A and B are shown apart, each in its own frame.
Chain A
């Protein structure tokens, strides 16, 4: 059987797709790639459907043995990529054949990268998705992160393509250590005084050590709501929850579906992707934008994504 044998799984390697939708009523979270655009690019470079299953690698340190012909592409955080010891470019497709060794080093910029393979990794879907959510024990191979010895089956190529695809440098994102999170004031924003809102939108926060795919807890000036809690309600992606200690938590893909802390607004997904590329100590600021502006930004970004041609090389 064709596929990839994991020799070293690295810090955190998870099989992910676009996410799991339609099951939040059972309490199942969304999951899926936290940097959606980087994930999409990895699949486009392999000429896959955008939703094909890829590996989301956090921090890095992975090694895989190819068993069969395939194209691969690594996008996202800048992690050194070696095939049979030879340095290769990110944001570009490469061909591998049986016996080739793929090594991915540690991130020098950004935190998470995406390794896609032609036709996607074959994973039996759980609740219509391959997305791994460790907290729930759902998705991926066993509801867990990948470990050494795991075998990831693929549909191998019969012939290797004659050219590679590459995303031009000017279209590749730069993962900064300081990001601005565009936020739609929403939910319980009226339970924060004008002063507290100004404080929130003018202060700088640091990413605390409690940051993962569920949410990023930030540290900075304490923001106070005029209520302690609310009747628990559905939490959307990017919602900024303010617990009683005043330290904001930006909720991401593996968030709890319902919660009772007041929320001041929700960060747009293009910016939660940048947040998820930050590690502890990264700096963030919030900037208020309207729902209409958020829609424009999303449409423009996706339209640019669709119009951007890959170069052959």
Chain B
């Protein structure tokens, strides 16, 4: 475990080099421990794949004090069981019409776009983090063959529901936003809706499976083109 400076009121804990279901469980536990032990100086916590960003009140403590408190608090991290989240099935409309980067991924992998789709939907993913935008769940990991680096210059507008890949991560964009991920399809399900209960269908630790649908089903499920 390494604790680094992030900003004037922020430290970041790196738990491992790579994410794994075990590390995800550890981070979840760390969140609970810190909320209990450091609540008087905490402003916000941002858990992610293998790290935890801690925003603190710089008028109440400095980073040296906080580092010590974090180390003491996280001594309680010893025995954490593996997370076994619920299985969520997300419908996925994969098509070159909406999957703007399908062709590029296929070319890089030297396979057909149908194979890219097949590889993407064949695996079960873990939700490792939620962030970037409300309801944006980071899922891992896609098969190495369809891994793709982020766009050099991010798009100014990625559509709501876009299913996308960045390196070996995949996600569904919950709303229109700028973004640099490679788009392969669209999902008609709301990933974040204040009117829904729960607000988000996916929580950290859940398992996710994409189920291919056609355009008709996509529209019937409320998808918009």
A260 to B58, CA, bound (A): 26
Complex contact B48–A27 (CB within 8 A):
no
Alpha-carbon distance between A239 and B4 when the two chains are bound, in angstroms:
14
Residues of A within 8 A of B136 (CB): 27, 256, 258
**Of B63, B130, B152, B175, which one neighbours A26 at CB under 8 angstroms?**
B130
Which of chain B's residues have a CB closer than 8 A to the CB of A245?
Answer: 152-153
How many residue pairs, one in A and one in B, have C-beta atoms under 8 Å apart? 164
A28 beta carbon closer than 8 Å to chain B: yes
We find that the number of chain B residues with CB closer than 8 angstroms to chain A is 54
Which chain B residues border A295 with CB–CB below 8 Å?
8, 58, 62-63
B7-A232 in contact (CB<8A) = no
| Partner-B contacts on A (CB < 8 A) | 21-30, 126, 135-138, 184, 186-187, 210, 214, 228-229, 231-239, 243-245, 256-261, 266, 268-269, 291-292, 294-295, 298-299, 302
Top 8 closest pairs, chain A to chain B, by CB = A234-B53, A234-B46, A258-B131, A266-B7, A236-B10, A236-B7, A257-B131, A256-B132
Q: Which residues of A contact B45 (CB under 8 A)?
A: 24-25
Q: Is B12 an interface residue (CB 8 A)?
A: yes
In the complex, how many angstroms separate the beta carbon of A58 from the nearest chain B beta carbon? Answer: 19
B77 within 8 A of A: no
State whether A186 and B152 are in contact (beta carbons under 8 Å apart), knowing that A27-B136, A28-B134, A257-B132 are contacts in the complex: no
For residue A293, give the distance in angstroms from its CB to the closest CB of chain B: 10
B169 within 8 A of A: yes
Interface string of B39-58 (1 = CB under 8 A from A): 00001111111111101001
A21–B5 CB distance below 8 A? no
Q: Residues of A contacting B47 with CB < 8 Å?
A: 25, 234
A180 → chain B closest CB, angstroms: 16
Taking a contact as CB atoms closer than 8 A, the residue among A25, A235, A244, A292 that contacts B152 in the complex is: A244
Q: How far is the CA of A268 from the CA of B174 in the complex (A)?
A: 30
Determine which residue in B48, B52, B149 has the highest number of CB atoms from chain A within 10 A of its CB, and name it.
B48
Within the complex, what minimum Cβ distance (angstroms) separates B134 from chain A?
Answer: 4
Chain B residues near A238: list those with CB within 8 A: 7-8
Closest to B178 in A: A214
A186 and B58 form a contact (CB under 8 A): no
Shortest Cβ gap from B101 to chain A (Å): 16
Q: Bound complex: CA of A299 vs CA of B59, how far in Å?
A: 7
Q: How far, in whole Å, are A294 and B58 apart by their CA atoms in the complex?
A: 10
CA separation between A27 and B199, bound complex, in Å? 12
**B48, closest chain A residue (CB):** A233
Contact A243 B154 (CB under 8 A): yes
Whether B150 and A229, one on each chain, are in contact in the complex, defined by CB atoms closer than 8 angstroms, is: yes
B6:A258 contact, CB within 8 angstroms: no
Tell me the complex Cα distance, A257–B137, Å: 12
Q: Are B59 and A27 in contact, with the CB atoms below 8 A?
A: no
